[in-house]
Structure 1
Amino acid sequence: MSTAVLDPMFTLTEGEVFTDRDIAALAAGTTGAVRVPGFLTPDVCAGALEAIETLPVGTYDPERMGAKIARFGPALNDYRAPGGGLDAERYWQATEEARAAWARSGMRPDPVARSLERLGLAWGAAIGPATIAGRATFGGTLREINEGALIHFDEVVREYPTALFDQTITAQLAFNVWVSVPSSGGETRVWRRRWHPTDEAHRQAYGYRPHVVEGHQELRLPPELGDALLFNPTNFHAVEPCASGRRIAFAFFLGLTSTGHLVYWS
């Protein structure tokens, strides 16, 4: 029987829409995750799946990821140069190619654009892309995670400590919306536990061994078709393997800036 003291605020909030209070609470760390069921309709999900078949979907390096994960669209943390900065030439080339492929797919309605519009309405201001030297970053990667994902965290200010963006990011959130879900499995797990320097002794490929989250409070969040999820990715999180079927989501990060605006990137 567990005797751990639980944080009563680290819970799942559900609602018909996202609100500015939801976003602020996640940024402040006073809630665990926010989910909106049926954020996308089944018809929109089906249309997205059909258009996805035209996209040049690749895979991450399975040795680095610990599993086969399919993806479309560049993510900034895949383009770090050996010295710690951005490999700009590779990143901007990949960004241009992804935008061209997205346009050719004719995905209508666009699930990423629709998601950003609704999140902007919640916040009370339009959400624009994070920029690097005035250039808009890519936002809205597609990921198919059927074999699970290792325990890890995402924090752009640690990945690029020399201030990558033109904007100053004070809090980072992760957004996912599912257009295909497995019959069982594929849960997102989020722990009330942030990275500590001593965790580096427990590295496993790009992530960490389970020891780092043992005994810590967690949320287990099964994917449902059309559902959207927001959480704070500076908490350790992982994805459980699927029993059968395909777990496909569109994803991007939101950053709360020092001026109170929201920007996005992948």
Structure 2
Amino acid sequence: MTAASNQIKSTLWEKNQEYPLTAESLRKLIEHRIPLIRIKDFATPEECEKLYAQSQSLVFNAYEDVTPKIEKVGITVFEYNSVSKANYFQEVERASKLRDSIFAASFNPLERIMEKFRECGAKVRIASEPEYGSYYAGLIRKIENGTQLHIDFAPLEQSGWEVCTITTQLSWTLYLKLSDNDSGKTCIYDRRWTPEDEQYKLDSYGYSDTVIADKDAIAFQPYVGDVLLFNTSNFHYVEPMNGQRVAFTSMIGLLPNGEIIFWS
């Protein structure tokens, strides 16, 4: 896999069209040529229910300085960026053991998605630091009150970490539990972040709607068992959910050498 040239402009998306995961669609997503990939029936309803059930005995922690409230099980680089890299890696072993115990009682979606990428010809691994070892990857997350308009892009947010050397950032999300309604969509804009957009930053992560004025967008509905992938340097937000919206997720990055790394 190679990153798109800086000369490639974001194209006008084909609205209401979803793409399966193939080597070609993955390349197009990395190059900002398509808005999203949906892997239908990535997990069975029974697998999702088991993973969800395992999470119900755990304590979900809310992100600090993030409104509306977002809760999760697991740790993120985002949280430790203003603390220290050392503190993050001190927590990796504990968080990974908890995650693996959940997998043992249900199934391992992280290894399954990495294998899907390998089937597309990608070389994949968990992100790592020479002095510390592997990152943590895999959150069980509740986004039920929606989010602000934002982007996720490690080169902007995680200076000095391996993940800041990526050229493209994606996310993947497996939906485990959803209330029976049509709310909770994710809206993605055909508008990539640029350094000049920092003037529109509102708080720890949100941006003013000014940055997406007159831009095309696509909104996708989550379904239990499906995985959605999109390019997180495009501005996006999640609508409030009228009920439960529980998912398993992590970040994905393309390194200059063509490797793809996973982390949270």
- 8 A Cα contact 2:18 2:37, kept in partner: yes
Deviates more, 1:108-117 or 1:233-242: 108-117
Aligned residue type for 1:72: V
Distance apart, 1:42 and its partner CA: 0.5
Corresponding position: 1:248 with 2:212: no
1:184 Cα offset (Å): 2.5
Structure 1 position 113, deviation (Å): 2.0
Indicate the residue corresponding to 1:158 in structure 2.
156
Match of 1:3 in 2: none
1:97 has 2:98 as partner: no
Alignment of 1:11-160 (within 5 A): 11=15, 13-15=17-19, 17-61=20-64, 64-81=65-82, 87-105=84-102, 106-122=104-120, 124-133=121-130, 135-160=133-158
* Number of aligned positions between the proteins: 251
Query: What aligned pairs does 1:226-245 form with structure 2 within 5 A after superposition?
Result: 226-243=225-242, 245=243
Q: CA 1:264 to 1:10, structure 2 compared with 1: closer, same or farther past 3 Å?
A: farther
RMSD: 2.2
1:119-149 C-alpha deviation (Å, 9 max, x unpaired): 2222x24521111126111111121000001
| CA distance in 2: counterparts of 1:128 and 1:218, whole angstroms | 31
Residue 180 (structure 1) aligned to one of 171, 177, 181: 177
Distance (Å, rounded) in 1 between the aligned partners of 2:32 and 2:80: 28
Question: What secondary structure is seen at the aligned counterpart in 1 of 2:167?
Answer: strand
Deviations 1:178-203 (A, max 9, x none): 11123221111100112234433332
Quick one: which amino acid aligns to residue 80 of structure 2?
Y
Shift of 1:11: 4.4
Distance in 2 between residues matched to 1:231 and 1:58, nearest whole Å? 25
More strand by share: 1
Say whether the 8 Å CA contact 2:140–2:249 is kept in structure 1: yes
Secondary structure of the corresponding residue to residue 75 of structure 2: coil
Q: Distance in 1 between matches of 2:163 and 2:196?
A: 31
Which one-letter code corresponds to 1:89 in the other structure?
Answer: A
Structure 1's unaligned 5+ residue stretches are: 1-5
TM-superposed CA distance for 1:237, in Å, is 0.7
Runs of 4+ in 1 over 4 A off after TM superposition: 10-13
C-alpha contact (below 8 Å) 2:123/2:258 kept by paired residues: no
Moved more, 149-158 or 95-104: 95-104
Q: Cα distance, 1:232 vs. partner? A: 0.5
Letter in structure 1 aligned against 2:95 = A
Q: Secondary structure at the match of 1:236?
A: strand
Q: Structure 1 residues 12 and 121 mapped into 2: Cα distance closer, same or farther (>3 Å)?
A: farther
**Distance in structure 2 (CA, Å) of the matches to 1:202 and 1:8:** 24
For 1:189, the equivalent position in structure 2 comes to 187
Contact map agreement 1:173 1:233 (CA 8 A) in 2: yes
Letter in 2 for 1:80: N
The gaps in structure 2 that reach 5 residues or longer are 1-9
8 Å CA contact 1:72, 1:143 repeated in 2:
yes
Give distance in 1, aligned partners of 2:213 and 2:105.
42
- SS of residue matched to 1:242: coil
